[in-house]
Amino acid sequence: MAARTLYDKLWDDHVVRDAGDGTALLYIDRHLLHEVTSPQAFEGLRMAGRSPWRLDANLAVADHNVPTLGLEHGITDPVSRVQVETLDQNCADFGIEEFRMGDPRQGIVHVIGPEQGATLPGMTVVCGDSHTSTHGAFGALAYGIGTSEVEHVLATQCLQQKKARNLLIQVDGVLAAGVSAKDLALAVIAKIGTAGGTGCAIEFGGEAVRGLSMEGRMTLCNMAIEAGARVGLVAVDDVTLGYLAGRPFSPVGEQWDRAVTAWSELHSDPEAQFDRVVKLDGGAVAPQVSWGTSPELVVAVTDRVPDPAAEPDPSRSEAMQRALDYMGLKAGTPIVEIAPDIVFIGSCTNSRIEDLRAAAEIVRGRQVAPGIKQALVVPGSGLIKRQAESEGLDRLFMDAGFEWRSPGCSMCLAMNEDPLEPGQRCASTSNRNFEGRQGVGGRTHLVSPAMAAAAAIAGHFVDSREF
């Protein structure tokens, strides 16, 4: 057989029916559901008198609307409450396993899938959420879908898909101390643009990627969608196996051995041809800070806010100017002179234990600067929260002046009670700096957990390598 990429192998392995025109009906192994993009899908099933094809492929959790404070009072916003209750009711009616609010396993859907071992190598994983690309870190073909497709997967266990092109992002070298997977992800987006991966499945390879933990790989694949690619992938290796061993949904005993043998194929063949290859020097990546309203509008912390007048493309130049106006920034301002009002450490990008450890290391024995109005840490799941507390990280954060919250999507998109106020500037470990994303008029700077923590302490952006 001809040499194949990892994406080719995953694709071939899931074809139920090849339409012969570049599309195929693909089998879906794992379907993750949350409260925002599923109610209309369940309603569609009911209206058509259909039932789920295979119950044990589904796992549901509420995350977007979940409060991160005062859980004992439930959800106070009646509209949010109805949405979460609708998920509870739908899962109960159809017999789908759900981690409900209050269950220690509850958390952000892209955190709990891997944490439970519900995301395994070689799977197809879909969810009505664009950051499903996260799960590709395990050598799984994982991508976000719309609500019509959520209904389609529930009813048929399949999706009609067009095959994507293969894009390899090869990061050679070793990331510097204080530089994380988040900085690498932002550097990749700065290089190829937010549409650079459109129509592609991105495989991340090279020494710097191999050197990342599973948490780091998840951060990288999570941001693939911000580069336009629905799919991000990292090949399976011992780091993957080490993470998965002993997880609740992971196979055990003889099944584990069989699975490991099957998973050993989950890498691109040495001779595989990619449609495009982009190379980066990992050693040259500096901590990144986004300055605009698109994740591609990002520079190194050592840089200045760029000048739209220097951009030759008029449409891009105009977009840059609009971004500066929205962000309340002037071209030429050194990044380290920008002072956030709010610091948010959380989201499906950066709320895992390693992220919290990196941030906690920075704040240890220090105090949040007086200019910071609020500094939040929102763990990605109840289990991560427990783990962090057992390591004493919660004390480090709270002693420094951070708030220690309960798990959920929180301020990443502020569907719960944690929005920015108009004009507020936030150093955020989330994934999108779109206008209004964190609250109407809110201004988002995307950074790593270490950079967010350092900004909280300094009161302005600082280089996490020197902090």
Partner 1 sequence: MEAFTEFESVVVPLDRVNVDTDAIIPKQFLKSIKRSGFGKNLFDEWRYLDIGEPDQACSGRPLNRDFVLNQPRYQGAGILLARDNFGCGSSREHAVWALADYGIRVVIAPSFADIFFNNCFKNGVLPIMLAGALVDELFIEVNGTPGYGLKVDLRARQILGPGGRIIPFDVDDHNRHRLLHGLDDIALTLEHAEEIRAYEAQRRDRAPWLFRGVN
Nearest approach in angstroms of CB 8 to partner 1 is 18
Distance CA 5, CA 163 (A): 13
| Residue type, position 84, single letter | V
Distance CA 251, CA 191 (A): 39
Q: Is 432 in the site for partner 1 (CB under 8 A)?
A: yes
Q: Which residue, chain included where needed, has tokens 């990605």?
A: 380
| Residue type, position 173, single letter | G
Give the residue from 117, 108, 141, 128 showing the smallest Cα distance to 29: 141
State which residue, 103 or 172, has the beta carbon closest to partner 1: 103
Q: Which residues contact 54 (CB under 8 A, 6 or more apart)?
A: 157
Tell me which stretch binds partner 1 (CB under 8 A): 48-56, 273-281, 355-363, 364-372: 48-56
Residue 192 is encoded by which pair of tokens? 């190829």
Which residues in 4-23 contact partner 1 (CB under 8 A)?
16-17, 19, 21-23
Q: What is the DSSP letter of 132?
A: G
Which residues in 109-138 contact partner 1 (CB under 8 A)?
116, 120, 122-123, 128-130, 132
Q: Is 213 in the site for partner 1 (CB under 8 A)?
A: no
State which residue, 112 or 208, has the beta carbon closest to partner 1: 112
Tell me which stretch binds partner 1 (CB under 8 A): 4-12, 34-42, 276-284, 377-385: 34-42
Q: Which residue, chain included where needed, has tokens 């040499």?
A: 3
Residues 247-286 as x/- pattern, contact with partner 1 by CB under 8 A: -xxxxx--xx-xx--x------------------------
Q: Is 69 in the site for partner 1 (CB under 8 A)?
A: no
Q: Which residue in 51, 148, 333, 367 binds partner 1 (CB under 8 A)?
A: 148
State which residue, 53 or 467, has the beta carbon closest to partner 1: 53
Distance CA 17, CA 414 (A): 41
Rg (CA), the chain: 21
> What are residue 158's DSSP bridge partners?
27
Is residue 136 within 8 A of residue 142, CB to CB? The reply is yes
Tell me which stretch binds partner 1 (CB under 8 A): 43-51, 206-214, 348-356, 375-383: 43-51
Nearest approach in angstroms of CB 39 to partner 1 is 4
Q: Which residues contact 144 (CB under 8 A, 6 or more apart)?
A: 126, 127, 128, 129, 130, 131, 132, 133, 225, 230
**Given its phi and psi angles, is residue 346 left (phi above 0), alpha (psi -120 to 50 degrees) or beta?**
left
Nearest approach in angstroms of CB 132 to partner 1 is 8
State which residue, 80 or 219, has the beta carbon closest to partner 1: 80
Q: Is 319 in the site for partner 1 (CB under 8 A)?
A: yes
Nearest approach in angstroms of CB 292 to partner 1 is 10
Nearest approach in angstroms of CB 56 to partner 1 is 6
Question: Order of strands, edge to edge, in the sheet holding 200-205?
Answer: 231-233, 200-205, 165-172, 276-281
Which residues in 153-182 contact partner 1 (CB under 8 A)?
155-158, 160, 162, 164
Beta strands in 384-437, from DSSP E residues, in sequence order: 403-404, 425-428
State which residue, 334 or 422, has the beta carbon closest to partner 1: 422
Q: Is 52 in the site for partner 1 (CB under 8 A)?
A: no
State which residue, 30 or 282, has the beta carbon closest to partner 1: 30
Nearest approach in angstroms of CB 322 to partner 1 is 7
Is residue 131 within 8 A of residue 348, CB to CB? The reply is yes
Q: Which residue in 184, 212, 413, 455 binds partner 1 (CB under 8 A)?
A: 413
State which residue, 122 or 379, has the beta carbon closest to partner 1: 122
Question: For the chain, how long is the longest CA-to-CA vector?
Answer: 63
Tell me which stretch binds partner 1 (CB under 8 A): 1-9, 172-180, 427-435, 458-466: 427-435
> What are residue 443's DSSP bridge partners?
425
Q: Is 94 in the site for partner 1 (CB under 8 A)?
A: no
> What are residue 107's DSSP bridge partners?
381
Tell me which stretch binds partner 1 (CB under 8 A): 183-191, 224-232, 339-347, 352-360: 224-232
